[in-house]
Amino acid sequence: MDVELSAQTAVIGSMLIDPRCIPVLMSQLEPDDFPDATNRHIFEAFRSLYLANKTIDPVTVLAELGSDAYGPTLSDMMRLTPTAANCEEYARILRDSSQLRAIQQACWRIGSSEHMDLSQARQLLADAAMLLVTSGSRIKRYQYTELIHRFLDRQNSNTPRDYLDFGIPVLNKRVHVSKGDFVILGAYSSVGKTAFALQLGLSVAKHGKRVGFYSYETNEEHAGDRMVANDADVDLQRIKEKKLSGTDFLRITDAGARSELYPFDLIESARMTAADLRLDVLSHRYEVVFLDYVQLVPGPGPERKDVVTQVSMDLHAMCQELGVTIIALSQVTLPPLKEDKSRRWICMQDLRESKQLLQDGETILLLDLEFPQNRASDRVLIIDKNKDGPTGNFFLTFDPRHMRFAYRDPEAEKPGKKKKPPKDEDDEQINGQGRLEDLPDGAGGDLPF
C-alpha cells in the first residue's frame, strides 16, 4: 500500500476510532483530497453526518453510505490505523499529495500539448507556482458571474437572513452580525462589558446558536451569579448573601428547566492561545464565540502590542476560515479629562494595545457611561464602525440588581425636557454630558435611533 493510500485509510480510521478527530479533519480536508473513489465516498458520508450535526460511529456511517458492503472496509481501516493521535499528520500527507498531483497535472499539460502558446504555458506555470505559495490553505475563488447568481439565489430564497438576535431590537436593526463576522466590544473597567456580553450571549443561545463564552478574567461563580440574576429576575445581592426567598428559588428552578434548551457554554480559558481557541471551537462546533477579553489572550511577541496584533489577526482568520462569529471584548484607554473634569465618550481609537483591532473588526461597539463622571448613570452604546450600516448611538438603562441592560426609548421621555444627570452616590451633581460631536473625526455619528 503506497503512502497516499495509507494516509487516506488512516484518516478515515482515525475518525472511526476517535470521533474527536472529526472536527479537526473536516476543517483541513476536502473530498477532492481523496483520489480513491471508495475512500472519497466514505469521507463524504462522514462530512454529511457532521454538517447535519448527527451522531457519527461505524453504524451511522454505514447507514449514510446505504450499503452493508462497506462494513469490512471500515473494519480494515480501523485495524490498519496505528493511532488516532496522529490524525493531523495523516491529513497533512493527504494535502501535500493533493497539491503535488495538481502541480504534476499542470506540468503534464505543458509538456503534452502540441499547440500551446507561450502565454498559455506561462499561465499554467503561474497556477502551479500559486499552489506552492498557498500550501495547506483553502482558497475559495468566485467569478463575478457566479457572485451574481449566488446573490439572486439568496434574494429569491424564502429563508430569512441568519443574523444574530441580541435581544435588543434596536441593536438588531442597526447591526447585522452574521456567520464569519468579527465584532469588537470595547469598554473601560467596571462599566459592565462582561455583564452586557453575558446577556447578549445568552440571548443568542436562546435563539438557537451554539455559543461558547471564553472567559479569561471572570470565573464560573461570578459569571453564573450574574446570569442567574439576569435570566431568573433575582436580586444579585440576595444571591451573594445567600438570602434567597421561596419565590427566588421557584424562578431559578424555572430558569434551570429552560436552560437545557439553550446551547451556551462558559469556558474558563486562562492561558488558552488563539490556536487553542481554534481547536476548542472546532471540537465543540460553536457557531458564536464571545471572548472576554482580547488583551488577555497569550501569544508570542516581545511587546503587548505585538501580541494583541497577532491575536487579532488570528481571530479574524478564524472567523473567515471556520465561518464562526467572534465577539471579542476589549479594554480601552480613557480619554483625557477636560478642564471642567468632564471627558468625551470613548471611541474606537481608544481600543487598547493595538490598532489592528480597528482594521480587523467588521463591527466595533463601545459601551460607556452616559455621564462619564457618574458611575450611576445609564449607559450609551456607540456603534463606531459598521461595515453594512450606519454608525451612531443609543442609550441603555442598567439595572445592577439584576445585571440587566435594556433599551431606553427616547419617545417615552417627556418632550421638551432634557434628561438630567443622576446623582452619583460619591459626588455632587455632575455637569457635562459626553457627546458624539466631541469624538475625533470619523469616530461615530449622531444618528437618532
Taking CA atoms, 1 is separated from 9, 66, 78, 438, in Å, by: 10, 27, 15, 71
Confidence band of 126 (pLDDT split at 50, 70, 90): low
User: Could you tell me if 88 and 173 lie in one domain?
Assistant: no
Residue 161 has a pLDDT of 76
Residue 118 has pLDDT above 80, yes or no: no
% of the chain at pLDDT higher than 70: 84
Torsion of CA 189, 192, 196, 197, to 10 degrees: 20
**pLDDT tens digits along 200-254:** 999 999 888 999 999 888 788 888 888 888 888 888 888 888 888 888 888 888 8
Give the C-alpha separation, 410 to 161, whole Å. Answer: 29
Residue 187, domain member (yes or no): yes
User: Could you tell me if 70 and 196 lie in one domain?
Assistant: no
Q: Which of 6-20, 137-151, 200-214 has the lowest mean pLDDT?
A: 137-151
Residue 198 has a pLDDT of 92
Residue 350, domain member (yes or no): yes
Residue 329 has pLDDT above 90, yes or no: yes
Q: Which of 46-60, 166-180, 376-390, 421-435 has the lowest mean pLDDT?
A: 421-435
Mean pLDDT over the full length of the chain: 80
User: Could you tell me if 80 and 195 lie in one domain?
Assistant: no
Distance of CA 310 to the CA centre of its chain: 16
Residue 325, domain member (yes or no): yes
Q: What global pTM score does this model have?
A: 0.63
User: Could you tell me if 284 and 428 lie in one domain?
Assistant: yes
**pLDDT tens digits along 19-38:** 888 888 887 888 888 888 99
Phi, psi of 88 (to 5 degrees): -70, -30
Confidence band of 135 (pLDDT split at 50, 70, 90): very low
Residue 140, domain member (yes or no): no
Which residues does 444 contact at the CB level (< 8 Å), separation at least 6? 347, 382, 383, 384, 391, 392, 393, 436
What is the rounded average pLDDT of the residues 177-186?
A: 89
Give the C-alpha separation, 385 to 355, whole Å. Answer: 14
The residue among 95 and 287 whose pLDDT is bigger is 287
**pLDDT tens digits along 188-199:** 888 888 999 999
Structural domain for 49, as ranges = 3-133
User: Could you tell me if 128 and 176 lie in one domain?
Assistant: no
The residue among 46 and 427 whose pLDDT is bigger is 46
Residue 152, domain member (yes or no): no
User: Could you tell me if 263 and 349 lie in one domain?
Assistant: yes
User: Could you tell me if 123 and 261 lie in one domain?
Assistant: no
Number of domains in the chain: 2
The 3-state DSSP composition of the chain as helix, strand, coil percent (nearest 5) reads 50, 15, 40
User: Could you tell me if 190 and 90 lie in one domain?
Assistant: no
Residue 102 is given by DSSP the state: H
Which residues does 87 contact at the CB level (< 8 Å), separation at least 6? 10, 11, 14, 15, 18, 21, 24, 25
User: Could you tell me if 332 and 193 lie in one domain?
Assistant: yes
User: Could you tell me if 128 and 200 lie in one domain?
Assistant: no
User: Could you tell me if 98 and 173 lie in one domain?
Assistant: no
Residue 265, domain member (yes or no): yes
User: Could you tell me if 95 and 227 lie in one domain?
Assistant: no
CATH, residue 259: 3.40.50.300
Q: Which amino acid makes up residue 417? A: K
Contact 114, 122 (CB under 8 A): no
CATH, residue 13: 1.10.860.10
Residue entry with cell 463576522: 181
Residue 442 has a pLDDT of 39
What is the rounded average pLDDT of the residues 253-273?
A: 84
Contact 133, 103 (CB under 8 A): no
**pLDDT tens digits along 428-439:** 333 333 333 333
Residue 310 has a pLDDT of 87
Which residues does 165 contact at the CB level (< 8 Å), separation at least 6? 172, 203, 204, 207
Residue 239, domain member (yes or no): yes
All three cell numbers of 150: 449566488
Residue 143, domain member (yes or no): no
